Chain A
Amino acid sequence: MSELDRFRDDVRAWIAANYPPSLREPLRVDSPDTPWGGRKTRYANPDVQVWMDRMAAKGWSTPEWQPEHGGAGLTPEHARVLREELAAAGCRPPVISFGLMMLAPVLHEFASEEQRRHFLPPIARGEIRWCQGYSEPGAGSDLAGLKTRAEDLGDHYLVNGQKIWTSYADQADWIFCLVRTNPESKHGGISFLLIDMASPGIEVRPIQLISGKSPFCEVFLTDVRVPKQNLVGKPGEGWKIAKRLLQHERASISTHLQTGLGGSPAGRPLAELARSYAGERDGRIADAHLRDAVARHEMRSEAIALTLRRVQEESGKQGPSALSSITKSLGAQHNKDKHELMVEILSLAGTAWDGAPFTDEEVEVCRQWLRSKGNSIEGGTSEIQTNIVAKQVLGLPD
């Protein structure tokens, strides 16, 4: 038996002994049990925390990271075996967080070793939850137009300004922030600063969305003192780091949007939903238009899933695939289309806002339909993505 096979056996035994049975059900979109981590997050099911801690103790939440960064220092082969076994056992991810998906990759690439040792382990263990301070009222698509100032006062920066659309700022412990250290240069005057949300001078106000939920906030920063060792990279290097982080963000959104390939919020396939709301005739969805629409949606799901796989195969063989630039807006549109189709299938029941006699599924169809509208806005709008593809992939002129 090879060393790798032995490792596989050990992993399998460990999972059997340590995976909380109450987490057997797959994690649903927008579930209160999403393992965001951090000091403020509370879970409906306490086993979420148990699983997070057990994996953290092994360093297996981020198996390939070095132990001093909170990982287990596994080789890619061992990490693959671990992932395969976790998937085979139907384990939920121990941590899903902005820190893990967006910040950590740029810390690995741009931060000093001291910063890595300080900031990475709490991300790996799910102890600190991060939010993203990019957008401002006057700087959305034109992000580099941001105005939040960070003044160099010797041993610290003094930060003044406002961020907006900051997802989960009210739940986060820290914020990674784009700030202006030089007003003279638009792109070259931006720096990447890490700020403790508990610092004096930070005020967070949740914003209510069309879905009725308040996942994102305004963040006001007034004379906030930030130690200089919290600057990642050099002053003025923020734009480069910001863009790289956006690539990681878009990639993780594309992965996340594969949920658009699945069924209803309760996990029912669209065809089943259509049967139960539009009725059956001769064993088929009675409404020919809905039948056509469901078939169209499923066929496109297949095309998108195959394309995502091709992106993976291509980047495995040939380095980053040009195709990855289309997957975010493609996934966004498809997820939006899915939610429109569900509302169409449920019809008036798909506009159920709250309470009896509506089922949880009906209310979720309505709420998630509204939430899905943000898919083509968050992480850079689809129009902006399309501009990028037109120029960088198709070579069309400015």
Chain B
Amino acid sequence: MALVLDQDQALLRSTATQFARERLPVANLRRLRDTGDATGFDRDAWREMADLGWTGMLIPEPLGGNGFGHFGLGLVLEALGRTLAASPLLSTVVLSGTALTHASDAEPARNLLRQIAAGETVLALAHEEHPRHRPLAIATTARRDGEGYVLNGRKRFVIDGHVAETLLVVARTAGADDDPRGLSLFLLDGATPGISRHRLSLADSRNSADVQLSDVRVDRTALLGEAGAAGPVLERVLDVGRILLSAEMLGAAQQAFETTLEYLKQRQQFGVPIGSFQALQHRAVQMYTEIELARSVLHAALTALDEDGGADVPRQATVCKACVNDTFHLVSNEAVQMHGGIGMTDQVDVGLYLKRARVAEATLGTAAFHRERYATLQGF
């Protein structure tokens, strides 16, 4: 397993870092927030990302992708995480793309994958129904109705849910709450009658929406794969999402740390830089250490996605998300504290990293969720 980058990977990372710095600096997120931009991301930048090949990294060449793989996309997300760059990479390429790849090889799915690779469309995975991550607590139903289905339910915290042209909806065709069996995936045009979407305003100013499904009628072709077979697909999708979201989070944590380290060297009190105080030095080393541990775990998990047949992916994803959660939590808190009063202001960026940290930590499972899942996976 490669824990250290090779040349291609190092080049990709530097391209992505430069893109984030020049094209999507933190100022970009501030602008989206302050102008109340309804899209919530920069469409021109999204097209440029597609031109750079980033939208096609998980998609095989015959479908217009480049198959660069998860490790590559992880490096891109890490770079974008540094500037808190908003883009539909997670919703569209990672979550929806993985779902389409694993759920079906029929033409509608293949066609959408082609569009994703080309950067022509935005999709959203409408899955969660609670503020806390409970992947199997699905009450949304899809009832047979003649040749088609009728969907009813309420999806919450759907990433890019209000802008997506297509929704991938997880619904029950059988079973009760918390039953992994009986889950199915449906492909819905966002404009289908009965769907109403409402953008949420979360602390991190990134895209999230509630999606209400009221007697949404679809025909048979909307069902992706077999009815009731979405459970294992969903598990894989969530694990890929956990690992790649972790990549974005690690980039953000790294940046918050570096910004803070710079401040420690520059801010003077008592006639000396505050970074000469041992109490702060030791906490800085703690942050450095946690970030490096998280990086090892992330690289292993990304490698497992590309190389391993899949057997160890659930465990790795869980170790990765828990570890990165704890790291970003620590670093985001310390970043504010070590900036003193100015850290509490909207004017400096550290507060934005703190806000992103909490949203991302709760997305796809808190550290406690993943420790419990780890125990389950390990049989204790």
Contacts and interface: CB of A to CB of B under 8 A. Distances in A.
A319 interface: no
B11 to A, nearest CB: 16
Interface string A197-217: 000000000000000000000
A292 B299 CA distance: 24
Contact of B3 (A309, A389, A397, A398): A309
Interface string A52-83: 00000000000000000000000000000000
B37 interface: no
Interface string B77-119: 0000000000000000000000000000000000000000000
A292 B371 contact: yes
B319 A271 contact: no
A326 B285 contact: yes
A387 B279 CA distance: 10
Interface in A315-349: 317-318, 323, 326, 330
B297 interface: yes
B214 interface: no
A386 B380 contact: no
A141 B264 CA distance: 26
A323 B273 CA distance: 25
B323 A299 contact: yes
A172 B379 CA distance: 46
Contacts, number: 112
A323 B371 contact: no
Interface in A101-125: none
Interface range, B side: 35 or more
B371 A296 contact: yes
A120 to B, nearest CB: 34
A300 to B, nearest CB: 8
Interface string A288-313: 00011011101110111011011001
B321 to A, nearest CB: 10
B276 A291 contact: no
Nearest to B290: A303
A314 interface: yes
A16 interface: no
A95 interface: no
A393 B288 contact: yes
Contacts of B264: 396
B201 to A, nearest CB: 33
Interface residues of A, number: 40
Contacts of A295: 371-372, 374-375, 378, 380
Instruction: Name A's interface SS.
Output: helix
B380 A303 contact: no
Contact of A292 (B289, B300, B372): B372
A387 B281 contact: yes
A391 B265 CA distance: 11
A361 B323 CA distance: 31
B378 A326 contact: no
B293 interface: yes
A275 interface: yes
Interface in B271-302: 272-273, 275-276, 278, 281-282, 284-285, 288-289, 292-297, 299-300
Nearest to A391: B281
B4 interface: yes
Contact of B285 (A284, A296, A303, A386): A386
Given A299-B323, A299-B374, A397-B265, A275 B293 contact: no
A386 B282 contact: yes
A283 interface: yes
A396 B265 contact: yes
Contacts of A178: none
A194 B318 CA distance: 52
B292 A298 contact: no
A250 B270 CA distance: 35
20 contacts: A271-B379, A294-B380, A295-B374, A299-B319, A306-B293, A310-B3, A310-B295, A313-B2, A318-B4, A386-B282, A387-B278, A390-B281, A390-B282, A391-B281, A394-B261, A394-B285, A396-B275, A396-B284, A397-B273, A398-B276
Interface of A: 271, 274-275, 283-285, 291-292, 294-296, 298-300, 302-304, 306-307, 309-310, 313-314, 317-318, 323, 326, 330, 383, 386-387, 389-391, 393-398
Interface of B: 2-4, 261, 264-265, 272-273, 275-276, 278, 281-282, 284-285, 288-289, 292-297, 299-300, 318-319, 322-323, 368, 371-372, 374-376, 378-380
A-B pairs with lowest CB-CB distance, top 6: A390-B281, A306-B296, A271-B380, A295-B371, A310-B3, A303-B293
Given A295-B374, A299-B374, A396-B281, 8 more contacts: A283-B379, A292-B368, A295-B371, A295-B375, A299-B318, A300-B293, A307-B296, A386-B285
